[in-house]
Amino acid sequence: MQKDIFNIQNAQDFSKVALAVFKHQFQNNRVYRSFCDLINVHPSDVQKVTEIPFLPIQFFKSRKVVASKDEAQEVFTSSGTTGTVTSKHFVTDINLYKESYRKGFHHFYGNIEEYTVLALLPNYLERKGSSLVYMVDEFIKKSNNVESGFYLDNLEELTQKLIALDKKRRKVLLIGVSFALLDLIEKQQFNLKNTTVMETGGMKGRRKELVREELHTILREGFGVAEIHSEYGMTELLSQGYSKGKGIFKTPPWMQVLTRDTEDALTINSFGKNGGINVIDLANYNSCSFIATQDLGKVHKDGTFEIIGRFDNSDIRGCNLMVL
């Protein structure tokens, strides 16, 4: 089954594997099974992907969401302000995560060995358990490049490195959290010709939240690039979506995004309609592959999607099935 996940070629393959993963998780994930029982959905009722129940993401804060009896090899945690409850993702087979992010990056960007990877993720490096740091750390190592590395607060050193590498026409991936990228361009105006600038979201209370268009306009001008790329991932998932500009995300073949009605969490929206983001991540085989997130967005007919915001905590009507 796990081999099938990364060999999906078309919609038919996806549907077949997704239904098999649903059955596996219904049988082996107690939290997900309880949720399905609560809303009265059984595998015998489910004939197509859109009928599969999506587990509200908040369960990762209060329950151990696993579909395996194996011990966790890694426990990833979400970043949260002091005093808030964070999500925990118990990963019983870390190789599934590795295979997912390696193949996912390659699918959209080619060989990581071709890049110098510069990571500006200060708030993530300051804590343990970040799945993003785990992934980027391997990208840095796999790039086989002594120039690759993490940067915490040493913005001056990063500035000089970016300028020097760009002059040498080296292919660079600068991956950073939004507030830190803004800090960088406030210190220096760039004109980068060979650098992919990728933001991973997140002001994390360090700066005023900006809408994506505003953020990307500032970053495009500050780095002198035509487009700002984005990565869409979260602690509770093992796969990522990528955008090469304009906030339009694509997913690898084993991942799919749908939207749900904001008034009725169990109803899947038609294309082009704003709603709550539901993610299918088949790589998350040993946990839950069907997650109702707190993001708002819309999905286009070609399967690409946009993120337009988040539910504020007072308005999670779509997820008020929290009585388990």
Question: CATH number of the domain that 114 lies in?
Answer: 3.40.50
Q: Are residues 144 and 181 located together in one domain of the fold?
A: yes
Q: Are residues 30 and 130 located together in one domain of the fold?
A: no
308 occurs within a structural domain: yes
159 occurs within a structural domain: yes
302 occurs within a structural domain: yes
Q: Are residues 214 and 265 located together in one domain of the fold?
A: no
Q: Are residues 224 and 266 located together in one domain of the fold?
A: no
103 occurs within a structural domain: yes
Which residue do the tokens 């967005």 mark? 297
Q: Are residues 181 and 220 located together in one domain of the fold?
A: yes
| 289 Cβ contact list (under 8 Å, min separation 6) | 18, 21, 22, 25, 280, 281, 282, 283
Q: Are residues 143 and 271 located together in one domain of the fold?
A: no
The CB density around residue 52, as the number of other CB atoms within 10 Å, is 23
125 occurs within a structural domain: yes
313 occurs within a structural domain: yes
Q: Which structural domain, as residue segments, surrounds residue 282?
A: 2-70+254-319
| Triad 200, 203, 209: Cα angle to 5° | 115
241 occurs within a structural domain: no
Indicate the number of domains in the chain: 2
Boundary-marking domain end, from 198, 232, 266: 232
Boundary-marking domain end, from 169, 201, 232: 232
From first to last of its 324 residues, the chain has per-residue pLDDT tens of 778 999 999 999 999 999 999 999 999 999 999 999 999 999 999 999 999 999 999 999 999 999 999 999 999 998 766 567 889 999 999 999 999 999 999 999 999 999 999 999 987 777 889 999 999 999 999 999 999 999 988 899 999 999 999 999 999 999 999 999 999 999 999 999 999 999 998 765 666 767 888 999 999 999 999 999 999 999 999 999 999 999 999 999 999 999 999 888 888 888 989 999 999 999 999 999 999 999 999 999 999 999 988 876 544 433 333 333
